[in-house]
Structure 1
């Protein structure tokens, strides 16, 4: 009798299990694509993900949203020459020092974005400025900058130069007036092999005075081969001179300098180029940094559809970065975490909208952040 009861109960259990399975109660195996995405994140060298904050965003909702998810900080503009040493005898360390204090209080890793670059003061951009004057200002700023931060434990990386080369591989230089995007430092001249003296001097000073900080050569635009070939040659040339270059950075302002044709229409091919660039960096003992990621939407009526495209592109990008972090250091920094409007250009998207609601791209970043904690 007891055996008959057990058999009856087993039969009933199997019947209910079969019915529930038909109703979808029993979970199907994980989606292969989702499983593949998760394995990209589950890597030995964790992908370090962070974002920028501006001084005016401290003690605001943006600070709270930042601290909720991130431990990697890049002060947006507070470390630049135009803020700290815009002209002779003028110094202002207040804002960037408050950021260092903020980083210490919240146990953050800092990358300083204070390069010798087009983000220069109007004084430096004035057309009558002489090479000697520019060289003096550069040396004063770069030396004081390196010495000021070298013994700050939270500062791990610093951009030494930025936006030095155009997409066609030529050196980016000055333009008339002071209101254009330009690089006045090229006026200082070239060395005997055609390399800008300002780049050489910037790395010479950083090598000497910032031994505790990893030195980054940062660059903008997209995956244009002539430009990156020139970056590679320049990095190797700097090293041949005895100067330290520890990493290369790519700004990743998608659909601004980085073209839609490449990153939206031909995403996979472009990500393959990015992967090859990261491989080159790691093969040459360089860290790799995506330094200023955002996504430009020119017309707000397309915002919702564009945010879905942004999510797709970010997913592909993070897959590449996480995969390549198996072989060496890779970091990712968002340029702002909210929506940023620039007149005449459009609406730069990140992971929160104008009202600080998460955008579709947030879920992609959040998953990567959580897995890489």
Structure 2
């Protein structure tokens, strides 16, 4: 009997261990699947039906069409409308069961018609309102579209409103010419969110912003979001572009990485405390022309930073909604500037940063 009792005890003990491991595995998987992290990438219209589309579909279910939904593409001037490219993106998303963030903000990437120095506030207002009304109604009926950027790059790193410049070939924001309300807030921001709130109730509205983690800039973004909400307009999330070594400076994100990541953590905490999602909307890493010979070192820096960002987003996804979107998948060259790196090299082979994003994907939902 003693031998049988010992045998029974050991069998019982083993069953408990197996069940405990099974329960732990289920609990771990459940916590990952129920997370609030969404990971995706951007495709340009010209990249549909190419190797980049194949690479995208291999790993991602979250899509941002690059520039096909902006004013410059859809409604560049009075009497002109072009829905072809964005409609094809919507068809692509529906065919492949993708979640979409429409990068369709009232922003500096405006048409030359809008940038013309003689353009009046009345003309800009009429064009912007027609554009925002049309895209809000059009996108609101598409179940694949979950998010929409309403404005982008509104504030400079020093806290000033980004505005117009002379000519039509510079990076500028002509919409500021529409004027300000009685409290000094740009009318284009107020009108854009008013229209999106009314006509896109099914879509989460995002206030997107470039540059780095400058306190002055983000304090003004926060103040503006509170003001928009005080007017009854909906803001569901904030976006940070994440163009590393372009708007986001090397001094902050490489030389003082831990300090800057902590600032990002604080910003995410603020967003979640105020019922806002946090979106990394356009992540890439610029290797400037003068540093091309140091590509190996630059990619090591990129991998280290991407690991930090991924770790942070995974952790913060436990308390609220976060997303990570790559701006392109391969190497994007800009003449006179350098090569923007993502997760594949020029031969479409994975770089080290690919494996950082794979960790994020394993913790993502879906």
Q: Secondary structure at the match of 2:159?
A: coil
1:314 and 1:57, CA in 2 relative to 1: closer, same or farther beyond 3 A? same
Asked whether 1:65 is paired with 2:91, we answer no
Q: Which residue, out of 225, 228, 241, partners 2:218?
A: 228
Asked whether 1:343 is paired with 2:312, we answer no
Alignment of 1:206-225 (within 5 A): 206-225=196-215
Cα distance, 1:253 vs structure 2: 0.2
Cα distance, 1:99 vs structure 2: 0.3
Cα distance, 1:260 vs structure 2: 0.5
**Which residue in 2 is equivalent to 1:305?**
297
Asked whether 1:325 is paired with 2:317, we answer yes
- Counterpart-to-counterpart distance in 2, 1:280 and 1:178: 37
- Counterpart-to-counterpart distance in 2, 1:42 and 1:116: 35
Question: Radius of gyration: which is bigger?
Answer: 1
Cα distance, 1:42 vs structure 2: 4.6
TM-score, structure 2 normalization? 0.90
Maintained 8 Å contact 1:43/1:326: no
**Which residue in 2 is equivalent to 1:128?**
118
**Which residue in 1 is equivalent to 2:352?**
360
Alignment of 1:271-282 (within 5 A): 271-282=261-272
- Counterpart-to-counterpart distance in 2, 1:177 and 1:107: 42
**Which residue in 2 is equivalent to 1:28?**
none
Maintained 8 Å contact 2:310/2:359: no
- Counterpart-to-counterpart distance in 2, 1:45 and 1:158: 21
Q: Which residue, out of 142, 149, 152, partners 2:139?
A: 149
TM-score, structure 1 normalization? 0.88
Alignment of 1:276-291 (within 5 A): 276-291=266-281
Asked whether 1:88 is paired with 2:78, we answer yes
The answer for unaligned runs of 5 or more in structure 2 is 1-27
The answer for unaligned runs of 5 or more in structure 1 is 1-37
**Superposed structure 1 runs of 4+ greater than 6 Å apart:** none
Asked whether 1:316 is paired with 2:308, we answer yes
- What RMSD in Å do the two structures reach over aligned CA positions? 1.3
1:155 and 1:43, CA in 2 relative to 1: closer, same or farther beyond 3 A? closer
- Counterpart-to-counterpart distance in 1, 2:33 and 2:245: 29
**Which residue in 2 is equivalent to 1:26?**
none
Cα distance, 1:47 vs structure 2: 1.4
Maintained 8 Å contact 1:43/1:325: no
Post-superposition Cα deviations, 1:129-156, rounded to whole Å, max 9, x if no partner, equal 0000000000000000100110100000
Cα distance, 1:43 vs structure 2: 7.7
